[in-house]
Structure 1
């Protein structure tokens, strides 16, 4: 039974997964009408023009930075803690 799961794991996490992820990315790109390319100018304008926020409000850039910090920061903390737990202190270096 472990050989079966090892085989499934090697198949799914090999080239099959790469093709599935690439295909899903292409499918979503076509289904949304290339939204990530069509609105790149609007994205830049909304970040550039958010210099003067409303009183007590956030600019678009502050909101983006807060969102990115919440995602990337916690992942870095958890990733380092997991690396130290699994591989010892040498895993960090």
Structure 2
């Protein structure tokens, strides 16, 4: 029988195990230009959070509606407020 993998704190690395995730809230800001996958990255993070049972909010702002324009994606995990990360507030 194989041993179960654990973290340094003794928590299970099994993503389906209860209590295996981190606690607390996180504010993420992904910035890039159109076509780099910033929106795809935020969607993947958001879906992973939902699968972990976490509350997640996201928003995106587009600088120009074309490939190569600036794109910002805000992600708030287990936060109490709206989806936009305040200036200087990203983790």
Q: TM-score, normalised by structure 2?
A: 0.27
Report which of the two has the higher share of helix: 1
Pick the structure with greater CA Rg.
1
Structure number with higher relative contact order (C-alpha < 8 Å, ≥ 6 residues apart)? 2
Q: TM-score, normalised by structure 1?
A: 0.26
Report which of the two has the higher share of strand: 2
